[in-house]
Structure 1
Amino acid sequence: MSESTITQPKTWRGTSIKDICGGKGPWSFTVTPLSPSKYHSVLYELPATLDGPPIPRVSKEPHLWHEDHVRMPFSTKNLFSVDEINIKERWKLIQDALKQPITNSKELESALKKYNRTLPNFGALHYFLHEELGEEESEQFFKNLLPNIISLALRLPELLPSGIPLLKQNHNRSLSMSQQQVSCILANAFLCTFPWKQNVAASYPGVNFVSLFSAFQREKRKDCVCEKLKCICNYFRRVTQNVPLGTITFERKFIPRSNMPRWDTLKNNLGNTRIHLDSEGTIEENGRGFLQVDFANKNIGGGVLAYGCVQEEIRFAICPELIAARLFVEQLGNGEAVIIIGTERFNSYTGYGDTFEWSGDYRDVTPRDIYGRLRTSVCVIDATMYHRPKEQFSGSQMIRELNKAYVGFHSRDPPPIAPVATGNWGCGAFRGSKQLKSLIQLIACAAAGRDMVYYSFGDTQLVEEFYYVHLFFGNNQITIAQLWRLLGQFASKNLSEDKLFSFIQQAHFESKNQPNKSIQTITKFFTKKTLDSPRSRNSSSPSKASQEKPVNNNKKEPAEIPMDLEENAVESLSPCSDDVVESSQPEESPYFKKLMVKVQSSAKKRSIEEKLPKTDLSRIFEMLDDEGNNCKETGEEHQVPLTEVIVHRSDVKQS
């Protein structure tokens, strides 16, 4: 048999990519519009065409040294103490230092120290330029590439004359820039020109490359740090030779806990969410045209400017424009995600972690939308790190991860919306369970109305097991609410995490054989306060997902107490709030209405009371109110000021 007739083994399960795309290809999905507003800052003149770089927008009131904006290096308020007596504008020092001839890494380090008070030793940069690169490559760097980077950086007042708004916590805000403006930001980051203070560093990751230049203490990561520097140098070679013409949008999404879906009430049939599972391929290469998940750190970019070299750091290294987000995206809270549209890939690579290597230049042929953005959408969501992996099966942790994934996957765009391209989110160094995280992402996709394309990174067993459990969901018409209750039962069992799929199937059949078997519930997070809140009395109309009828409606099941396990509940907001996503819950639960009709019937009142759990009736009615999750939020999240809010729809889409 000839080699041409040998068929490759099938590595995927589920629905084909062709069918996922409806036979129209990956570019057929809805494009998120770009609309300038109070909550969407566009830093270039519209419309943007590809005839040339977009023209920078000049505002009447530039914000160059403002608490809600990035502190710009060229601001006249950016001062530097040369000595005990002399204080000069830092931008003038930057210009003077960088215009001097620089012929080696020691001179480069010395130049940067003229406008930075304290800098560590640039051991990694010295090693890269004089040991990793050949003599000819090093000479070309100082003769050609570095002068081009400096020229680009010094154009900052021209390319970003009005400043850069910060994307702060607990606000829905968007920011659009040209690729040329982003390249100017990164050139300044490479030369460490952005002013930085310790109190800011606690919540903003920082974009200056000083930490990458000094990442030389870990011998095993010395090589991958050099490979990341190769990615950066190739990026600057490209953008300084040919100015990029496109645009990029950075969107911060925030949904308060009070407006999250009630997972214990959603009737979406999980079998209706199509999935494509593949043990081969990568999100960035094979998920083109889809919503591509970045397995993020809460500080966007993670360790990209240090020793990190796993999924997020690699994605930021091969698409360096993502690194710019570290300048203006504040640390992510529990109910937040970031969507980045339009970033370009510049580098090819092989390996992972210690074996990561830059393998050459990459030409991104992704088509652009009508706004000049490449049709690449990156979804930045941070999973929880578990020091004790068993903790992830607690109710509070599962609902945190569900809410996080939902924020990232939810979209206000009309259908058809792109599927989610994801994988083993939070299952590496963060020690998450692959079985649990795959189910959490499936639930979030079902609630958000998206299909799911899952790349298991070589785990063929997970592909098979996940495929069959998804078939089980479809054949048995399992809903989100049913799976949520089954996950709650598993949390109370002393079973290993790899038994989750089999437990779900067994527990479902046992519940059918024993319909009156009680299900463990936790009620302490529902309080009478939430029933009396203004939002509860003036709730908006029910969402479609919340009104979806159960698939099996022949049997009337007794009302169950919802299992809400989030420990960090949220203070409910008034219905006039504009900066939050409207609640996805109905005004009144169908179960509550049915129960009230029965209670009002004196003939059946006694029998109903006998069927109810042995607990306080007032507590049950509190549980059955669909606004019961409007509790006070604690921890890292903060209540949104009602004067700074934006209308943001969050109706859960139907599966």
Structure 2
Amino acid sequence: MKKFIIGYLAFCTNHGQARCHSKMACKNDSSQVKACLDHSDMAGESRAGTSRETTDSSSPKQRHSQSSGNEATDSRQKPGAEARSGDTRDEGKLKSKPECHMQLDKLSANRQHTVLIDIKEFYAGRIVPYKGKHVWDSKHVKLPQHYPPNAMEPRWAVTDRALKKLTQRGASVGDVEGAIKMYNPAHNKDWSFEALYTYVERLPKLENNFSHLISKMAKLALKLPELIQHPIPLLRQNCSHTITISQEQISCLLANAFFCTFPHRNTRHAGSEYGNFPTINFSSLFAVRSPRTLEKLRALFHYFNTVTEEATKPIGLVTFERICLHPSKWPEWNKQMENMTNLRVYSKGLIEREGQGMLQVDFASKFVGGGVLGQGLVQEEIRFIQCPELIVARLFTEKLADNECLKITGAQMYSNTSGYSDNFEWHSPHTDSTERDEWKRRYCQIVAIDALNFADPRQQFTEKSIKRELLKAYVGFKEDSNIPSEYTPAVATGNWGCGAFKGDPMLKALIQMMAAAVAKRDLAYFTFENRKQAEDLQRMHELLKSQKMTVGKLYNLLQDYCRYYSHHHHKAKNVFDYISEKMCVRPSQL
């Protein structure tokens, strides 16, 4: 059978029958104008339980590459290379892109995929905005240039005049503050710009000439009506939908976020229109003077300096895909017969570097980006600061539900950083040489999955909590079911939800191993300098593999552990020791 399958795939490949990477890549006979979008129909279909699985039955075609262009540039280990001291591994190299990439169908728009560039122009070698029809409603981003007239002078006219003043030479922080407050008069008294003043006072002009850069950023922000000519749908809960947008369009949207031009987005109190969305205007970042804020501003200003220079501005696309898994697709964990997939554990290295080409896990907040525009500086916020294009997801992504994730494909890395939390520092510019796919997206895919936040760590050792975390990890790890595992890269992850959210690292590792097994993906697991954890995890994985442990049997063992823990939590053995003991005592039952 195996030889037959391999032969069949080779036959299909030789005959050029490439199938689409996911539903968003499927061909659509209708024009972009017709396909993008009947949003009322889209919402109705999605809320009825839309699946992201494809209906195309043709076979995959692997894309071969002479050189990946994304090798690690520092001395730390990349998965697939020889293990260094303190790292443990299984045999075999983990799959990553572009080596295991499948050729995509042509970029197309449909009711589940909004494309903000003109596709015909794209295939003619140009990236220009797609011209759609303006809307102002609850299903789309409310753009400042379309604010309904309710005064003597339209809001965008005020914004345009204020930003044009900043394009002149010599703009100061006071000028920026005055401009922002001109079109946000309700916040004249409560918005502070202390962090921005401190940044300019302390940072040498050689790093960022503030006045010159502000002028370039204001010019970029003013291009909003030119660059965004099609409605941007909100990625709402219970609705699978995809947005593909150019990096230039993202830079313009982020420049507007910096200048706080987005209307109706300055409050998130209960019952407010956008109370279920993250913040997007940068006002919260400007308010608090702290070392954390200064380092964030250094990275963000470097990004804006890069994208406003003709020689360095990015020229590709980025895709944002909200995936909602209908309950009919949820695994019955106690019945799953899959064995553990391959695992390689690394005590050294980083997900975003040594995990290049893999599906990289963002240890997310339900509100994507977490505290990136505030004081947060843990794994998610650091990734968003290194790759500011991720921040634009906050403009249109509603809070994630338990059966949802957000996948971002093509984001570029602009900054090297070091440290964590209070020790975080912007280090240097990063030159991203990662190759691009057929849609001109970097071979970088990030999945945002939010772990439960346990005020009481004991709450995680319950069947309800474990099932929730399994579902969340599975939604994030799951690939299109029609794509063979040979074309599915490994997952690069680590101690998901084990910091401020108080998750148990051993339990979270087992949960991710189980979800990866059902999703048919291998794992690269980074313990961030914790060598003992790396060794313990590798031993546990080897034991599970040697005993041919299935996901269903391991799930039942975890339920046994939960019952044991509820009676002995003050002196309970850890979950690794408990499972090891049970496996050795009752081998006949495994």
- The 5 A counterparts of 1:238-253 are 238-242=306-310, 243-253=313-323
The amino acid across from 2:284 in the alignment is S
- The 5 A counterparts of 1:88-487 are 88-100=153-165, 101=168, 103-116=171-184, 117-118=186-187, 119-130=190-201, 132-135=202-205, 140-142=209-211, 144-197=212-265, 198=267, 199-216=272-289, 222-242=290-310, 243-270=313-340, 273-412=341-480, 414-415=483-484, 416-487=487-558
- The 5 A counterparts of 1:566-577 are none
Question: 2: CA distance between counterparts of 1:497 and 1:349?
Answer: 39
The amino acid across from 1:70 in the alignment is V
The amino acid across from 2:148 in the alignment is K
Question: 2: CA distance between counterparts of 1:349 and 1:225?
Answer: 14
Question: 1: CA distance between counterparts of 2:504 and 2:527?
Answer: 13
SS at structure 2 position matched to 1:208 = coil
Question: Which residue of the partner structure matches residue 28 of structure 1?
Answer: 100
User: Which range moves more in the overlay, 24-33 or 448-457?
Assistant: 24-33
Question: 1: CA distance between counterparts of 2:323 and 2:506?
Answer: 27
Question: Which residue of the partner structure matches residue 29 of structure 2?
Answer: none
CA deviations over 1:609-638 (Å, ceiling 9, x no partner)? xxxxxxxxxxxxxxxxxxxxxxxxxxxxxx
Question: 1: CA distance between counterparts of 2:182 and 2:112?
Answer: 38
Structure 1 residues 344 and 475, CA gap change in structure 2 (3 angstroms): same
The amino acid across from 1:115 in the alignment is Y
Question: Of residues 129, 140, 160 in structure 2, which corresponds to 1:56?
Answer: 129
Question: Which residue of the partner structure matches residue 596 of structure 1?
Answer: none
Structure 1 residues 167 and 348, CA gap change in structure 2 (3 angstroms): same
Structure 1 residues 265 and 176, CA gap change in structure 2 (3 angstroms): same
Question: Of residues 10, 16, 19 in structure 1, which corresponds to 2:93?
Answer: 19
The amino acid across from 1:510 in the alignment is V
The amino acid across from 2:559 in the alignment is G
Structure 1: gaps (5+ residues) = 1-6, 80-85, 217-221, 516-551, 553-655
CA deviations over 1:187-231 (Å, ceiling 9, x no partner)? 100100000254133111021100001123xxxxx1121111011
Contact kept, 8 Å, 2:362 with 2:380, in 1: the verdict is yes
Question: 1: CA distance between counterparts of 2:354 and 2:468?
Answer: 28
Structure 1 residues 510 and 287, CA gap change in structure 2 (3 angstroms): same
Question: Which residue of the partner structure matches residue 507 of structure 1?
Answer: 582
User: Which range moves more in the overlay, 28-37 or 206-215?
Assistant: 28-37
Question: 1: CA distance between counterparts of 2:379 and 2:505?
Answer: 15
Structure 1 residues 97 and 289, CA gap change in structure 2 (3 angstroms): same
Q: Structure 1 vs Structure 2: percent identity of aligned residues?
A: 37
Question: 2: CA distance between counterparts of 1:128 and 1:497?
Answer: 50
Number of residues paired by the alignment? Answer: 488
Structure 1 residues 32 and 311, CA gap change in structure 2 (3 angstroms): farther
Structure 1 residues 78 and 380, CA gap change in structure 2 (3 angstroms): farther
Deviation at 1:50, TM superposition (A): 9.6
Deviation at 1:141, TM superposition (A): 1.4
Deviation at 1:339, TM superposition (A): 0.2
Deviation at 1:15, TM superposition (A): 2.5
Question: 1: CA distance between counterparts of 2:88 and 2:103?
Answer: 28
Deviation at 1:30, TM superposition (A): 3.5
CA deviations over 1:314-338 (Å, ceiling 9, x no partner)? 0000100000000000000110000
Question: 2: CA distance between counterparts of 1:54 and 1:97?
Answer: 29
Question: 2: CA distance between counterparts of 1:89 and 1:356?
Answer: 42
Contact kept, 8 Å, 2:104 with 2:438, in 1: the verdict is no
Contact kept, 8 Å, 2:97 with 2:489, in 1: the verdict is no
Contact kept, 8 Å, 2:415 with 2:430, in 1: the verdict is yes
Structure 1 residues 504 and 168, CA gap change in structure 2 (3 angstroms): same
Contact kept, 8 Å, 2:492 with 2:526, in 1: the verdict is yes
Question: Which residue of the partner structure matches residue 111 of structure 2?
Answer: 38
The amino acid across from 1:459 in the alignment is N
Contact kept, 8 Å, 2:164 with 2:219, in 1: the verdict is no
CA deviations over 1:131-154 (Å, ceiling 9, x no partner)? x2125656x211x21111011101
Deviation at 1:284, TM superposition (A): 0.4
Question: 1: CA distance between counterparts of 2:361 and 2:573?
Answer: 24
Contact kept, 8 Å, 1:179 with 1:245, in 2: the verdict is yes
Question: 2: CA distance between counterparts of 1:505 and 1:136?
Answer: 58
CA deviations over 1:62-117 (Å, ceiling 9, x no partner)? 22x121100010005164xxxxxx54211000011112256211121011100002
CA deviations over 1:483-507 (Å, ceiling 9, x no partner)? 0000001101124676111111212
4+ residue segments displaced more than 6 Å = none
RMSD (Å), alpha carbons: 2.1
Deviation at 1:32, TM superposition (A): 6.5
Structure 1 residues 406 and 51, CA gap change in structure 2 (3 angstroms): same
Question: Normalising to structure 1: TM-score of the pair?
Answer: 0.72
Structure 1 residues 160 and 281, CA gap change in structure 2 (3 angstroms): same
Question: Which residue of the partner structure matches residue 30 of structure 2?
Answer: none
Question: 1: CA distance between counterparts of 2:298 and 2:278?
Answer: 22
Structure 1 residues 31 and 8, CA gap change in structure 2 (3 angstroms): closer
Structure 2: gaps (5+ residues) = 1-81
Question: 1: CA distance between counterparts of 2:222 and 2:142?
Answer: 16
SS at structure 2 position matched to 1:11 = coil
Question: Normalising to structure 2: TM-score of the pair?
Answer: 0.79
Structure 1 residues 255 and 265, CA gap change in structure 2 (3 angstroms): same
Question: 2: CA distance between counterparts of 1:31 and 1:440?
Answer: 32
Deviation at 1:434, TM superposition (A): 0.3
Question: 1: CA distance between counterparts of 2:281 and 2:234?
Answer: 16
The amino acid across from 1:257 in the alignment is P
Larger of the two Rg values belongs to structure: 1
Structure 1 residues 458 and 32, CA gap change in structure 2 (3 angstroms): farther
Structure 1 residues 425 and 47, CA gap change in structure 2 (3 angstroms): farther
Structure 1 residues 317 and 32, CA gap change in structure 2 (3 angstroms): farther
CA deviations over 1:275-327 (Å, ceiling 9, x no partner)? 11000000001110000000000000000000001100000001000000000
Deviation at 1:56, TM superposition (A): 0.4
Structure 1 residues 498 and 185, CA gap change in structure 2 (3 angstroms): farther
Structure 1 residues 215 and 497, CA gap change in structure 2 (3 angstroms): farther
Deviation at 1:122, TM superposition (A): 0.9
Deviation at 1:28, TM superposition (A): 2.4
Question: 2: CA distance between counterparts of 1:112 and 1:371?
Answer: 36
Structure 1 residues 31 and 207, CA gap change in structure 2 (3 angstroms): farther
Contact kept, 8 Å, 2:97 with 2:358, in 1: the verdict is no
Structure 1 residues 205 and 285, CA gap change in structure 2 (3 angstroms): same
SS at structure 1 position matched to 2:306 = helix
Structure 1 residues 135 and 58, CA gap change in structure 2 (3 angstroms): closer
Question: Which residue of the partner structure matches residue 611 of structure 1?
Answer: none
Contact kept, 8 Å, 1:48 with 1:372, in 2: the verdict is no
